[in-house]
Amino acid sequence: MVQAFLIKYAEIGIKGKNRYVFEDALVQNIKTAMKRVEGDFAVTKESGRIYVTAKTDYDEEEAVSALQKVFGISGICPVVIVEDTGFEDLAEAVVKYVGETYPDRHKTFKVNARRADKHYPLDSMELNAELGSRILAAYPEMKVDVHNPEISLVVEVRKRIYLYSQVIPGPGGMPVGCGGKAVLLLSGGIDSPVAGYMIAKRGVSIDAVYFHAPPYTSDRAKQKVADLADIISAYTGPINLHVINFTDIQLAIYEKCPHDELTIIMRRYMMRIAEEIAKKCGGMALVTGESIGQVASQTIQSLSVTNAVCTLPVFRPLIAFDKLDIIAVSEKIGTYETSVLPYEDCCTIFVAKHPVTKPVLKSIEKSERHLADVIDDLVAAALETEEVIRIG
């Protein structure tokens, strides 16, 4: 039975002072992730290593799957812990470990002993030689290869003795929280949840904002967005989902502005409001699921007219992705099935038949002047009535 996992993480670029910030964030995020797994786990940092130790029974597959969602982890090593009750017991445990871990033993191996506890009666070289010969005696079909073994069995002698030989790949990336916070514009579509996942992989934590337009969009549409936030929160950590009632703003735009410019003007107000939310929650950037050329509002011209209202940087992790590539990621992270549920979106309801694809900033600004009398109050009211849902 595997009793612990040794967590491997990439150390490049995190030397010195940053290392502690990185490791502490990783430990904290692993603790949060393991809360989703049935069982009780201790997450500890010991001499520059992170261990997840099981204190109760648990399902190994479930635990590994949770750890594979924690950014910053490069590898997960299942560890068997043996009490130090003498060399004979250790040799027996090592032989048993190899037998249970490798049903097919036609493999080359090497023993890689390390002593953190220098008082152990055998030194590393002696342990390598002795344990190696015990394994060969038990399994004559195995062969030693010290240069390029198929199995490299680590025997780490501490107060107790840790055995491991397998590395399950982790998700890579940086621990969420190390890279500051951004505000994700999260719709019920395929793209924005993927964008949130990608930015979180670089260590950025997220608050999300969803614009809904009751009664044109339903509670089911809102629930779908909350469900998507819940799915990505397994990767991003807890998310505050800010739900903004956008109906009156959309109606005003619809009433007062040229219809072929509706989408672009609406998007500019979404960005303005998202920036206000960012100011309040400490967000340092906005994140969207846009990709060049996907729809009229995602041409370079449209994106730059949208950007013109922003003072914060706008990150678009999917900017150069094909739709099929985005779909592949959404399937991998588990958002696809929810994203394709057919609930109405506020953008699709007020969309023009022939939206501008090459908007000119000056003329959009001119159209927005028609809103001058009402828009500040409407934006203020939308911000005042926001609903914040805590997810994850």
Span 42-101, contacts to ligand ATP by CB under 6 A: none
For residue 185, the partner it binds in Mg ion, ligand ATP, none, with Cβ less than 5 to 8 A by kind, is ligand ATP
- The H or E element spanning position 111 is strand 108-115
Beta-carbon neighbour count of residue 124 at 10 Å? Answer: 16
359, 215 Cβ separation under 8 angstroms: no
Q: Rounded distance, CA 146 to CA 165, Å?
A: 14
The region of 18-26, 90-98, 234-242, 283-291 touching ligand ATP under the rule CB under 6 A is 283-291
For residue 294, the partner it binds in ligand ATP, Mg ion, none, with Cβ less than 5 to 8 A by kind, is ligand ATP
Query: Whose Cβ is closer to ligand ATP: residue 29's or residue 288's?
Result: 288
User: Which residue in the set 265, 346, 375, 391 belongs to the binding site for ligand ATP (CB under 6 A)?
Assistant: 346
186 touching ligand ATP, by CB under 6 A: yes
For residue 176, the partner it binds in ligand ATP, Mg ion, none, with Cβ less than 5 to 8 A by kind, is none
Q: Rounded distance, CA 83 to CA 328, Å?
A: 45
- Which candidate, 205, 232, 206, 183, places its Cα nearest to that of 339? 232
For residue 205, the partner it binds in Mg ion, ligand ATP, none, with Cβ less than 5 to 8 A by kind, is none
241, 183 Cβ separation under 8 angstroms: no
CB of 190 to Mg ion, least distance (A): 8
Q: How many residues are recorded in the chain?
A: 392
- From residue 163 to residue 192, what is the string marking binding to Mg ion with x (rule CB under 5 A)? ------------------------x-x---
Query: Whose Cβ is closer to ligand ATP: residue 108's or residue 294's?
Result: 294
Span 311-340, contacts to ligand ATP by CB under 6 A: none
User: Which residue in the set 132, 177, 179, 189 belongs to the binding site for ligand ATP (CB under 6 A)?
Assistant: 189
Q: Rounded distance, CA 363 to CA 271, Å?
A: 18
Phi-psi region of 349 (alpha: psi -120 to 50; beta: other; left: phi over 0): alpha
261 touching ligand ATP, by CB under 6 A: no
290 touching ligand ATP, by CB under 6 A: yes
Total residues contacting ligand ATP by CB under 6 A comes to 19
CB of 206 to ligand ATP, least distance (A): 12
245 touching Mg ion, by CB under 5 A: no
99, 139 Cβ separation under 8 angstroms: yes
For residue 190, the partner it binds in ligand ATP, Mg ion, none, with Cβ less than 5 to 8 A by kind, is ligand ATP
Angle between helices 247-256 and 375-384 (to 10 degrees): 160
Name, in order, each residue with C-beta under 8 angstroms of 177's C-beta and a sequence gap of 6 or more.
Answer: 25, 28, 29, 203, 205, 237
Name, in order, each residue with C-beta under 8 angstroms of 166's C-beta and a sequence gap of 6 or more.
Answer: 77, 78, 101
- What are the residues binding ligand ATP (CB under 6 A)? 185-187, 189-192, 209-211, 288-290, 294-295, 297, 345-347
Catalog residues that contact Mg ion under the rule CB under 5 A.
187, 189
